[in-house]
């Protein structure tokens, strides 16, 4: 399974189209290594979902067709690393369903697992973080002073809060934005980017005033001290 990354990454569009069934004539997987690796993945999944052996894949032709679809789905959705596949298998083992997952479901498991592995909240947790920040932010001097769980949470939650306020997002819209933020942040972490920590801004000790107000203030002080205005006789 470790070499699945290179096999998927090196597969050209024509081969993927054939494997996905775009060619009306029967085709086979040209790369024998790809076939063996997908066989291994399916064997692992069969141990988790044993009922599929006598139902979904009772006909060998159906299993062969399914394998072609899975390889194409991996390539189309960016499933290219060992960590992603391991995360997908971890979710599969924890699944309460006895039914064989679709390629889309397994891909979702892969992506969710990577998000967790990167120390990020899931979609529901991130949504609750935004709601909590919206409720409690007034108790803190600034967004940077808020007790964040991680730098990534600071950047995601504050961005989502600003979008929610400025665009008057509904709950459904905000949840969609949460999913987008998680994907973007996970991608940044996977590429090795260091997410900067929030830095509390030093409060301003004075408020600048205009020249006119400054002169008025000077005149007020001079009047209190009994001093004449400049130029007065």
- Residue 24 has what pLDDT? 39
Integer Cα distance of 161 and 133 in angstroms: 8
Can you read off the two tokens belonging to residue 32?
């024998």
Q: How far apart are CA 36 and CA 4, in angstroms?
A: 10
Q: In a 3-state reduction of DSSP, which class is residue 146?
A: coil
What is the separation, in whole angstroms, between the first and last Cα of the chain?
Answer: 96
Over the stretch 163-192, which tens digit does the pLDDT of each residue have? 999 999 999 999 999 999 998 998 888 777
Residue 90 falls inside a structural domain? yes
One domain, residues 65 and 38: yes
- Is 203 inside any structural domain? no
Residues 15 and 98 in one domain: yes
DSSP class of residue 20?
T
Span 125-138, pLDDT tens digits: 999 999 999 999 99
d(CA 191, CA 48): 31
What is the reported pLDDT for 32?
58
Task: Look at residue 191 in the predicted model and tell me its pLDDT.
Answer: 79
- Give me the sign of the Cα torsion angle 115, 117, 120, 124: positive
Domain boundary among 117, 133, 167: 117
The b/e string for 158-197 (b: 16+ C-beta within 10 A; e otherwise) is: bebbebbeeeebeeeebbebbeebbeebbeebeeeeebee
* Inter-residue contact 148 to 126 (CB < 8 Å): no
Altogether, the residues listed in the chain come to a count of 233
Identify the pLDDT of residue 56: 83
- Clarify whether residues 9 and 113 are in a common domain: yes
Structure tokens at 132: 């909590």
Residue 27: pLDDT above 60?
Answer: no
Does the pLDDT at position 153 exceed 90? yes
Specify the range with the lowest mean pLDDT, choosing from 28-37, 54-63, 216-225: 28-37
Of the three residues 117, 150, 180, the one that is the final residue of a domain is 117
Q: Please check whether residue 23 is in contact with residue 70, taking contact to mean a CB–CB distance below 8 angstroms.
A: no
How far apart are alpha carbons 74 and 66 in whole angstroms?
12
What is the residue range of 19's domain? Answer: 4-117
Residue 140 reports pLDDT greater than 70: yes
The tally of domains found in the chain comes to 2
Q: Is 198 among the domain residues?
A: no
Q: In 3D, which of 103, 72, 74, 109 has the Cα closest to residue 90?
A: 109
Asked whether residue 218 is assigned to any structural domain, the reply reads no
Say if residues 174 and 127 touch (Cβ distance below 8 Å).
yes
**Torsion sign across C-alpha atoms 59, 61, 67, 72:** negative
- Inside any domain, residue 230: no
Which of 79, 101, 117 is where one domain is finished? 117
The tens digit of pLDDT for each residue in 190-215 reads: 777 889 999 876 655 556 667 777 78
Please give the residue that has the higher pLDDT: either 166 or 231.
166
Query: Do 111 and 132 lie in a common domain?
Result: no
231 occurs within a structural domain = no
* 63 lies in the same domain as 144: no
222 in any annotated domain: no
pLDDT of residue 212: 79
Do 110 and 131 fall within a single domain? no
């Amino acid at each position: 399974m470790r070499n699945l990354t290179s096999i998927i990454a090196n597969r050209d569009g024509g081969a993927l189209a054939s494997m996905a069934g775009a060619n009306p004539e029967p085709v086979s997987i040209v790369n024998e290594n790809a076939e063996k690796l997908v066989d291994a993945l399916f064997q692992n999944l069969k141990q988790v979902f044993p009922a599929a052996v006598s139902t979904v894949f009772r006909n060998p032709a159906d299993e062969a067709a399914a394998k072609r679809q899975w390889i194409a789905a991996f390539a189309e959705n960016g499933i290219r690393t060992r960590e992603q596949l391991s995360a997908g298998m971890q979710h599969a083992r924890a699944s309460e369903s006895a039914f064989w997952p679709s390629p889309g479901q397994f891909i979702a498991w892969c992506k969710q697992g990577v998000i967790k592995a990167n120390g990020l909240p899931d979609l529901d947790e991130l949504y609750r973080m935004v709601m909590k920040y919206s409720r409690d932010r007034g108790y803190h001097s600034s967004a940077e002073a808020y007790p964040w769980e991680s730098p990534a949470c600071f950047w995601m939650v504050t961005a989502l809060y600003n979008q929610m306020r400025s665009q008057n997002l509904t709950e459904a819209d905000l949840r969609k934005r949460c999913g987008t933020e998680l994907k973007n942040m996970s991608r940044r972490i996977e590429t090795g980017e260091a997410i900067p920590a929030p830095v509390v801004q030093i409060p301003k000790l004075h408020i600048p005033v205009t020249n006119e107000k400054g002169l008025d203030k000077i005149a007020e002080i001079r009047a209190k001290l009994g001093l004449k205005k400049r130029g007065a006789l």
